[in-house]
Amino acid sequence: MMNYVRTPAIVLLLVCLGVSGCATTGDSAPSSANDNMDAVVWQQTSAEYAAVTTGIYASATTALEAIAKTDRARSMAVVLDVDETVLDNVPYQAQLVLDDATYEGESWDRWVALRAAPATPGVVDFIQASQSLGVHVVFITNRRCRARPDSTGDCPQKDDTLANLQDVGIDTTSTTLFLRGEIPPEGCAELLTAAEQDDGTWSSDKTSRRECVRLDHDIVMLFGDQFGDFKEVEGGWSGRDLAAEFSEYWGKTWFMLPNPTYGGWKPRTSDEKRALIRGVD
């Protein structure tokens, strides 16, 4: 994903989180995961969250049906981020809150290995509609390839993600999935950014992966929960003015899914949060 992430498998995660000992307190320290309680309750239990995501994907389906009727020389593709766009990792976030823990890579990777994330409400119908319209479905995720002692290959996370997507009802046989840390397929290595050329793999910047898709397809829609799913943002910060710069795209070809639990918008410490918010003048 993601910079941030159930079980008898839940036992594995609990053990991991306990060992991590990463809960912290104090105003200048990283905020406690308990800060996420309201966000987790909203995302995991409310009718409102499911209504928002279902509405976004229903509107996108209507728009895509119109786009698919246009004449194009090249095949069309829709590009979707995975975490909090297609797969809903709120059980991981909920566990962090329950354990008073914060995100860390080991617990996240154990969550990914469980292949247990439910689908974001509405997305499965959208992907099925895209496929029946002949539009290629591409997933570009910042889930990171990382070898595991108990798995074969350099990127067990790719197998986990495909299996999870398949399990929620998405036919992945004719889709494309690009992860962070993967070696680009033939023809796309020259599209790597200068920063990526050092180790020859894709970084968290999704720009070169979108360019790779564009070699063979017209990207007609983008879906994500972070600004970088649409356009790379220097420093990862996405203040509100940034949305206004691209107002012509929202809800037409760019579709942002709500993610109240983490993101480039979220300061790390309580002090930083207090410095940002504004009350009544």
Tell whether residue 160 is a contact of Mg ion (CB under 5 A): no
Query: Which CB atom, from 77 or from 140, has the smaller least distance to Mg ion?
Result: 140
State yes or no: residue 225 binds Mg ion (CB under 5 A): yes
Q: How many Cα atoms within 13 Å fall on the side-chain side of residue 40?
A: 16
- For residues 201-229, b (16+ Cβ closer than 10 Å) or e, as one string? bbbbbbbbbbbbbeeebbbbbbbbbbbbb
Q: How far is the CB of 103 from Mg ion (least distance, A)?
A: 13
Q: Considering the rule CB under 5 A, would residue 88 count as an interface residue with Mg ion?
A: no
Smallest separation (angstroms) from Mg ion to the CB of 69: 30
Shortest Cβ 187–Mg ion spacing (Å): 26
Taking contact as CB under 5 A, which single stretch among the options 37-45, 83-91, 97-105, 127-135 is the one that binds Mg ion?
A: 83-91
Q: Give the CB-nearest residue to Mg ion.
A: 83
Minimum distance, C-beta of residue 226 to Mg ion, in the bound complex (Å): 5
Cα(53)–Cα(44) distance, rounded to whole angstroms? 12
For 252, the token pair is 């037409």
Answer yes or no whether residue 84 interacts with Mg ion by CB under 5 A. Answer: yes
- Shortest spacing between CB 85 and Mg ion, in angstroms: 5
Among 77, 83, 97, 102, binds Mg ion (CB under 5 A): 83
Q: Does residue number 81 form part of the binding site for Mg ion (CB under 5 A)?
A: yes
3-state SS of 8-49 is HHHHHHHHHHHHHCCCCCCCCCECCHHHHHHHHHHHHHCHHH
Burial (CB < 10 A; 0-12, 13-18, 19+), residue 255, is buried
When the beta carbons of 67 and 228 are compared against Mg ion, the nearer one is 228
Which window, 10-18, 74-82, 145-153, 204-212, contacts Mg ion (CB under 5 A)? 74-82
Burial 79-105 (b: 16+ CB within 10 A, else e): bbbbbbbbbbbbbbbbbbbebebbbbe
Stretch that binds Mg ion, among 12-20, 55-63, 77-85, 102-110 (CB under 5 A): 77-85
CB of 24 to Mg ion, least distance (A): 24
Neighbours of 22 (CB within 10 A): 17
Q: Using CB under 5 A, list all residues that contact Mg ion.
A: 81, 83-84, 225
